């Protein structure tokens, strides 16, 4: 079970989706509602010991509607809109975790599973500025925790290209951090001490580029740099000098 670290992936999807929506607002005749298809590629650095970077193909089947947006396995639905402020419910898979075959550091440990998150997001738009806050919680009972994230971005338009830099901060509760980075008592060894971390506060910077000028579809590139909190970087499962990770997401989609 080799999965990418989903916190970065969700942030990139959110940034790219926001960029696409911004593009649609300014080019409604080019971006109608309907079903979409396409493909993507995710490349992410891992901070676990001896755990290679993940290169994951991402087939995209989705739908863009007035309230409903589906981008592959990521789903959001706008339930309220107050001028520049909107409230949405979200559903997103959490591609995280490991099994003992993924790295020698996991030998003898219990499998940590991926999961499914659900929650709400509040989005504020003023001219080209975007502020978004979300609360997502595990609904499958795997890590039994939650994550709170807030991001700020600004959109520049350069001819047919939209550029959106962003910054974000993300709180992951102790249950989540302990599940993915902790070491249980029966898993402890002389070289892998028992570890029960508290919450983590991660910060990110990113940039996304969106254009509709390639092959009649929507091409999106997102790059995100994440700095992890002390509760994560102090884990015996994490590389000693690993404090941050870089992720890239490239996708192309168009309407049927």
Which pLDDT tens digit goes with each residue over 146-190? Answer: 999 999 999 999 888 999 999 999 999 999 999 999 999 999 999
Q: Mean pLDDT throughout 114-136?
A: 95
Give residue 23's pLDDT: 47
Give residue 60's pLDDT: 85
Give residue 24's pLDDT: 47
4 pLDDT higher than 70 = no
Give residue 239's pLDDT: 93
Of the pLDDT bands very low, low, confident and very high (cuts 50, 70, 90), residue 17 is low
Give residue 27's pLDDT: 46
What range defines the domain where residue 127 resides? 6-255
Q: What's 80's domain CATH number?
A: 2.40.160
Q: Mean pLDDT throughout 180-202?
A: 96
Q: Is residue 161 part of a domain?
A: yes
Q: Mean pLDDT throughout 210-237?
A: 92
Tokens in use for 242? 């690993």
Q: Is residue 220 part of a domain?
A: yes
Of the pLDDT bands very low, low, confident and very high (cuts 50, 70, 90), residue 59 is confident
Q: Is residue 191 part of a domain?
A: yes
Q: Is residue 234 part of a domain?
A: yes
Yes or no: say if 84 and 161 are a contact pair by the CB < 8 Å rule. no
Q: Is residue 201 part of a domain?
A: yes
How many structural domains are present in the chain? 1
Give residue 26's pLDDT: 46
- Among 53-57, 80-84, 175-179, 250-254, the range scoring the smallest mean pLDDT is 53-57
Task: Please provide the average confidence, as pLDDT, over all residues in the chain.
Answer: 87
Of the pLDDT bands very low, low, confident and very high (cuts 50, 70, 90), residue 140 is very high
Q: Is residue 1 part of a domain?
A: no
């Amino acid at each position: 079970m080799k999965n990418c670290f989903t916190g970065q992936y969700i942030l990139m999807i959110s940034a790219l989706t926001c960029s696409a929506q911004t593009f649609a607002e300014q080019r409604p005749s080019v971006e109608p509602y309907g079903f979409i298809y396409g493909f993507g590629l995710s490349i992410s650095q891992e901070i676990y010991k001896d755990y290679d970077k993940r290169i994951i193909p991402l087939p995209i089947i989705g739908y863009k509607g007035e309230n409903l947006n589906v981008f592959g396995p990521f789903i959001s639905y706008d339930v309220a809109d107050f001028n520049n402020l909107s409230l949405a419910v979200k559903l997103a898979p959490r591609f995280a975790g490991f099994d003992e075959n993924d790295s020698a550091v996991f030998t003898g440990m219990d499998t940590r599973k991926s999961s499914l998150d659900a929650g709400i997001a509040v989005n504020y738009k003023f001219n080209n500025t975007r502020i978004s806050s979300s609360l997502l919680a595990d609904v499958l009972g795997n890590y039994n925790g939650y994550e709170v994230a807030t991001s700020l971005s600004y959109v520049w338009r350069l001819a047919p290209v939209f550029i959106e830099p962003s910054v974000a901060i993300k709180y992951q509760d102790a249950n989540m951090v302990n599940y993915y980075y902790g070491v249980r008592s029966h898993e402890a060894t002389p070289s892998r001490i028992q570890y029960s971390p508290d919450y983590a506060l991660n910060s990110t910077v990113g940039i996304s580029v969106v254009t509709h000028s390639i092959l009649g579809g929507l091409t999106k590139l997102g790059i995100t740099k994440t700095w992890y909190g002390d509760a994560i970087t102090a884990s015996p499962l994490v590389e000693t000098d690993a404090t941050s990770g870089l992720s890239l997401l490239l996708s192309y989609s168009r309407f049927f």
